[in-house]
Amino acid sequence: MLIRTMQDVEARDMTPAGAQKTTIRVVFGPQENAPTFALRQVDIQGGGSTPHHKHPYEHEVVVLAGNMKVVGPEGEKPAQAGDAVLIPPDEIHQFKNASETEPAKLLCLIPVEHQV
Report the interface residues with a second copy, using CB under 8 A. 1-7, 27-28, 32-37, 39, 57-58, 60, 62, 64, 70, 72, 74, 77, 79, 82-89, 91, 93, 107, 109, 111
CB of 70 to a second copy, least distance (A): 6
**What is the maximum alpha-carbon separation in the chain?**
41
CB of 55 to a second copy, least distance (A): 12
With a CB cutoff of 8 Å and minimum separation 6, the contacts of 58 are 86, 87, 88, 89, 110, 111
Between 83 and 99, whose beta carbon lies closer to a second copy?
83
Separation of CA 41 from chain center: 6
CA distance 91 to 87: 7
Between 86 and 116, whose beta carbon lies closer to a second copy?
86
